[in-house]
Amino acid sequence: MIRTRRRILVLAAALATATTVAACGSDSAAPGGAAGPPQPGGTMRYGLSQAPTCSDPAQSGSNQTLYVTRQIVDSLTDQDPATGELKPWLARSWEVTPDAKVFTFHLVDGVTFSDGTPLTAESVRNTFDSIIRLGSAKAPLAASYLTNYVGTTAVDRLTARVEFSKPNAQFLQASSTTQLGILADATTGKSAEQRCLGDNIASGPFTYGSYRQDASVTLAKRAGYQWGSAVFGHRGEAYLDKIEFTVVPESGVRTGSLASGQLDAISDALPQDTPQIEATGGRVLSTANPGVPFGFQPNVTRGPLRDPAVRQALLPAIDRKQLVDTVLGPQFKPASSTLASSTPGYQDLSARLAHDPEKARGILDRAGWVPGGDGIRVKNGERLSFSVIFSQVFAGNQAIIELVQQQLRQVGVELKLDLLSLAETTARQNAKDFDSTYYNTTRADGDILRTTFGLDGRNLNARDRVPALDDALDGQLSTADTDARTALVHTAQQQALDAGLWIPTVELSQAIGASGTAQDLRFEASARLQFFDTWLSGR
Partner 1 sequence: MARYLTLRVLQAAWVLWAAFTISFVVLYLLPADPISIAADGAGAGTPVDKAAIAELQARYGLDRPLWEQYWTALGHAVHGDLGHSIVTGQPVTDAIGDALPSTLGLAGLALLFATIGGVALALAATYTRRPWLRTALGALPSLGVSVPTFWTGLLLLQLFSFHWRLAPAFGGHGFSGTVLPALTLAMPIGAVIAQVLASGLASTWRQPFVDVALAKGGSRWWVQRKHVLRPASVPTFTIAGVLVGNMLAGSVVVETVFARPGVGRLTQTAVLAQDIPVVQGVVLLTSLVFVTVNLAVDLLYPLLDPRIAARSWRAAPAENTPAELGGTAEKVAIHG
Q: Which is nearer to partner 1, 114 or 425 (CB)?
A: 425
Q: SS3 of 3, please?
A: helix
Q: At what angle do helices 308-317 and 397-409 cross, to 10 degrees?
A: 110
Helix (H) or strand (E) holding 44: strand 43-48
Task: Find the binder of partner 1 among 441, 478, 482, 494 (CB under 8 A).
Answer: 441
Closest CA relative to residue 353, chosen from 316, 319, 403: 316
Residues 96-155 that bind partner 1 (CB under 8 A): 135-138, 140-141, 143-144
Q: Considering the rule CB under 8 A, would residue 250 count as an interface residue with partner 1?
A: yes
Which window, 255-263, 330-338, 466-474, 528-536, contacts partner 1 (CB under 8 A)? 255-263
Amino acid symbol at 500 = G
Task: Find the binder of partner 1 among 47, 88, 204, 412 (CB under 8 A).
Answer: 47
Q: Rounded to whole angstroms, how far apart are CA atoms 408 and 456?
A: 32
Q: Considering the rule CB under 8 A, would residue 491 count as an interface residue with partner 1?
A: no
Instruction: Give the binding-site size for partner 1 (rule: CB under 8 A).
Output: 58
Q: Considering the rule CB under 8 A, would residue 218 count as an interface residue with partner 1?
A: no
Q: Cα 485 from chain centroid?
A: 21
Q: Rounded to whole angstroms, how far apart are CA atoms 431 and 499?
A: 22
Count, residues in the chain: 539
Q: Which is nearer to partner 1, 1 or 137 (CB)?
A: 137
Q: Which is nearer to partner 1, 73 or 292 (CB)?
A: 292
Closest CA relative to residue 43, chosen from 536, 538, 537, 519: 536
Task: Find the binder of partner 1 among 38, 61, 329, 371 (CB under 8 A).
Answer: 61
CB 318 within 8 A of CB 505: yes
Closest CA relative to residue 284, chosen from 441, 509, 65: 509
Within 13 A of 305's CA, how many CA atoms are on the CB side?
Answer: 27
Task: Find the binder of partner 1 among 213, 218, 322, 398 (CB under 8 A).
Answer: 213
Q: Rounded to whole angstroms, how far apart are CA atoms 76 and 105?
A: 8
Write phi, then psi, for 219 (nearest 5 degrees). -110, 145
Q: Considering the rule CB under 8 A, would residue 301 count as an interface residue with partner 1?
A: no
Pattern 362-401, partner 1, x by CB under 8 A: -----------------------------x-x--------
Q: Which is nearer to partner 1, 130 or 229 (CB)?
A: 130
Which window, 165-173, 180-188, 363-371, 424-432, contacts partner 1 (CB under 8 A)? 424-432
Q: How many CB atoms lie within 10 A of CB 161?
A: 17
Q: Considering the rule CB under 8 A, would residue 196 count as an interface residue with partner 1?
A: yes
Binding-site ranges for partner 1 (CB under 8 A): 47, 51, 53-54, 61-63, 65, 135-138, 140-141, 143-144, 191-194, 196-197, 212-216, 246-250, 252-253, 256-257, 259-262, 292, 391, 393, 421-427, 430, 439, 441, 451-452, 456-458
